[in-house]
Amino acid sequence: MKFSIPVLTSALAASALVSGAPLGRRDGRGAVYFITNEPEGNMVIVANINADGTLGLNRAVSTSGRGSHGLADPVGPDALFSQGSIKASATGKILAAVNSGSNTVSLFSIDSSDPTNINLIGEPVSSEGEFPMSLAINGAGNQVCVLNGGTVNGVNCFSVDSKLGLVAMPNTLRSLGLNQTTPATGPAGTTSHIAFSEDGKQLIASVKGVPPTPGFLAVWDVNTDGTLSADFQTVTPGSGGLLPFSMTVIPGKNAILATDAGVGFDIFDFGGQNQSSVVPITGQGATCWSSFSNQTGNFYLTDIITSTVTEVNVDDNLKGTIVKQYPKLQALQRSTMTSPLSGARTSSTSWLLTRRPATAAGVTINANNLQGMTSFVKQ
């Protein structure tokens, strides 16, 4: 598998960096956040969501940690092999980011009247593992869990303290026992994403297989005090499933849609016998990332190789069908979070410097390191 082409997330990030909206907005709809994931120092790049839905670069804020790039041949733009390396919670008004190179997690408060205004709370805390690469925040916004994907791999959770930041929670450090390296070697055989089930009663981590051996989801029960079951349940994809990547909750069902970089997507039904169905996407390269739109009721999946966006509907019986496919630029134009300059690519630090000299000077952006995307929308 070759993960070597600039991808949708990068292009979206670039569009945030180059659009010409004014700085420091209270009149926007919210904010979008990325991490630079640079080994010299990790920064959160913050873009305002303007009233018309375009993005405007606002500021870069240090996480006080370092990023890193997984070991891959060729070296591609998927540095952490993950989804969810930065995660915002609207209920908690917090933003968490991984520092994969320093094995820590940073927590910020989000100013709900101006969500571009974020402030580090306390110091970054140890992820209690190596190569932290994905984060989940519970519905109440008071528990943050991290997935470590390096030599020391597994999950670990923190409670959120408004003054201290992240505080280690007992009985949440759980190993996956994968044979991995630090930084992780991939993309095959790496951890992918961590998520809570919709009811918050399970914490789920996805792991890619090493072809021909399929990957799996690791499922821990979350007790009422936030602690985790001692062991995880292994749920494997149906026949043909291979590389479970990002996980998106299917609302109202006890189920998860997982992109599958080896085939298309998998639907995991936790309601009955933990059945999984596999839906191929014809012509896919590697389908990696996904999200759900409450407005359309459909899922949107992106492919790192083809940059195609695939719109998927999941019916009441958890049958997934492809609704439509969009080439990259068309998809970007449809997006409500896109600047008119969406064709831009990320390697253009110079764009940043010329368009935003006051705030962006000195911020290093590498297309192969830039990771993650999360948003905070004003209520």
Ligand X SMILES: *[C@@H]1O[C@H](CO)[C@@H](O)[C@H](O)[C@H]1NC(C)=O
Q: Which residues bind ligand X (CB under 6 A)?
A: 179, 202, 219, 233, 235, 270, 273-274, 294
- The Cα–Cα gap between 53 and 59 comes to 18
CB of 204 to ligand X, least distance (A): 8
* Residue closer to ligand X (CB basis): 224 or 273: 273
- We find the least distance from the C-beta atom of residue 236 to ligand X, in angstroms, to be 11
Kindly tell me which of 292 and 353 has the beta carbon lying closer to ligand X: 292
Q: How far is CA 78 from the centre of its chain?
A: 11
> In which element (H, E) is residue 109 found?
strand 104-110
Contact 315, 300 (CB under 8 A): no
Decide whether 179 or 224 has the Cβ nearer to ligand X: 179
- Residue whose beta carbon is closest to ligand X: 233
Q: Which is nearer to ligand X, 78 or 269 (CB)?
A: 269
Torsion of CA 36, 205, 326, 285, to 10 degrees: 90
* Minimum gap (Å) between residue 357 Cβ and ligand X: 38
HEC profile of 161-207 = ECCCEEEECCCCCEECCCCCCCCCECCCCCEEEEEECCCCCEEEEEE
In the complex, least distance from residue 377 CB atom to ligand X, rounded to whole angstroms: 10
User: Of 172, 49, 40, 200, which is closest to residue 110 (Cα–Cα)?
Assistant: 49
Q: How far is the CB of 177 from ligand X (least distance, A)?
A: 10
φ/ψ of 320, rounded to 5, equals -95, 135
Nearer to ligand X, 3 or 216 (CB): 216
- CB 194, CB 155: distance < 8 Å: yes
For residue 22, cis peptide bond before it (omega within 30 degrees of 0): no
CA atoms within 13 A on the CB side of 88: 25
CB of 24 or CB of 177, closer to ligand X: 177
Residue closer to ligand X, measured from CB, 251 or 283: 251
Residue closer to ligand X (CB basis): 179 or 282: 179
Instruction: In angstroms, give the least distance from the CB of 98 to ligand X.
Output: 24
Distances (CA, A) of 71 to 75, 190, 362: 7, 11, 26
Q: Around Cβ 31, how many Cβ atoms within 10 Å?
A: 29
> Nearest approach, Cβ of 233 to ligand X (angstroms)?
3
Residue that is written with structure tokens 């907005």 in the block: 25
- Least distance to ligand X, CB of residue 88, Å: 14
